Amino acid sequence: MKGAIRFLFSIEVLLGALFFTGCETVPEGIQQAKIAMAQRIAAEPPGDYFIGRRYFKPDFKFWGYVRRPGQPWSTAQLVMLNEKQKLAPDRERLSFGSDNNYEYKLYGYFSGDKVYEPASNGVYPEFVLKGYEEISTNPPPIFKSQYSGRADAANTRFVIEKPE
């Protein structure tokens, strides 16, 4: 009986420690920005399109993150872009990576294929681009480094961030 009580107490202590280490104080301005972003996403009309955020890294060949309208950025997928029908915006302008962090309304579909990207040694879903509209050249932040202001290029060159 004592062993069972001690075991339960240990689990409670562990769960309490995990709960408190997961709690993070978020500065008020960042919290307000996250709330505003959530409201903006919730207001996106449903439809046959996607929202894309260009995520340019010179050493990698992926395009960026793509999500469904109304869904949070945490659900976005990092994609390889199939440009057989439509060139990516920066490639159309012959200014590769110039649209880093721009937000687009994308028209197209996920082909169901996976594409290998050698620099990351990762496999990513293929998004077939049929068209796009620029939404913003200065959208709200979606990456932790954008909130913290610690986007040190030397330290993040090979880091692939995930949107929050």
Q: Decide if 69 is inside a domain.
A: no
Q: Decide if 13 is inside a domain.
A: no
**Cα–Cα distance measured from residue 23 to residue 131, given in angstroms and rounded to the nearest whole number:** 41
Per residue in 51-102, pLDDT (tens digit) is 999 999 999 999 999 999 999 999 999 999 999 999 999 999 999 999 999 9
Q: Decide if 145 is inside a domain.
A: yes
Q: Decide if 21 is inside a domain.
A: no
Q: Decide if 139 is inside a domain.
A: yes
Nearest to 114, CA basis, from 125, 105, 106: 125
**Cα–Cα distance measured from residue 49 to residue 51, given in angstroms and rounded to the nearest whole number:** 7
Radius of gyration of the chain (CA): 20
Per residue in 108-145, pLDDT (tens digit) is 999 999 999 999 999 999 999 999 999 999 999 898 87
Number of structural domains in the chain: 1
**Cα–Cα distance measured from residue 136 to residue 1, given in angstroms and rounded to the nearest whole number:** 63
Q: Decide if 73 is inside a domain.
A: no
26 falls in which pLDDT band (50, 70, 90)? low
Domain that residue 137 falls in: 94-164
Q: Decide if 109 is inside a domain.
A: yes
Q: Decide if 149 is inside a domain.
A: yes
Residues 42-48: contacts with CB under 8 Å, at least 24 apart = 42/70, 44/69, 44/70, 45/69, 46/70, 48/107
